[in-house]
Amino acid sequence: MIVLAIALLLAIFLLPNLWARWVIKRHSRGRDDYPGTGAELADHLLRRLGIEGVKVEPTEQGDHYDPEARRVRLSPEVYGGRSLTAVTVAAHEVGHAIQHHQGYAPLLARSRLVGVAQKAEKLGAVLMMAAPLLFLLTRLPGGLAIVVVAAVISFGTAALVHLVTLPVEFDASFQRALPLLKDYIPPYDMPGARHVLTACAFTYVAASLASMLNLGRWLVILRR
């Protein structure tokens, strides 16, 4: 029964990632009929929409929009790529720039939470590892429980960020990027673009599940 549960959890965690990678790779073939690269489309969309002060630049840290620096950062494959995946991902990141430009509340909330979550997750790991030692040293009634609760809250903050991220990503994909792409790619490519955007969203679903599994793993270790 335990083996079956573990296998089910692994499937829930791994399958979205595997499917997302397959979809993205499937649509990464170069397209001679596309007039520009992902970076060129992103730059064009920003100018067309009148979003000033946002620049497009390459990065090795994965495709993302940085609201503090006001930068659309694209991986080399997307920045210089001329494929359905490249232009779709570029449009998605521009979708975040649109959200920021329009003051989209969930994006602003996520931006504030990200910094807090990173610190909280590190604190959670330290507290979980230190909990038994602190209990032995202090012998305070309920001391271990207090540390465990603090650690759970810390890990829970990371899971909360991922949950807040999901509607932000879906909005950037299907309410912002997809309508824009209709003007730039052939109609027969629209289903593929939708698949790429869905695959990108699934990576955040997997990240959310990973946070919850990480919390569960520490709780199991602590109970031993």
* Rg from Cα positions in the chain: 21
CA torsion sign for 34, 36, 38, 43 is negative
User: Distance from first CA to last CA of the chain, Å, rounded?
Assistant: 20
Count other Cβ atoms within 10 Å, centred on residue 68: 8
Q: Residue 138: in which H helix or E strand, if any? A: helix 105-138
Burial class (CB in 10 A: 0-12, 13-18, 19+), 201: buried
DSSP E strand boundaries for the chain: 55-58, 64-66, 71-74
Active site residues per annotation? 93
Contact status, residue 197 vs residue 181, Cβ threshold 8 Å: no
User: Residue 64 carries which side chain, given as an amino acid letter?
Assistant: H
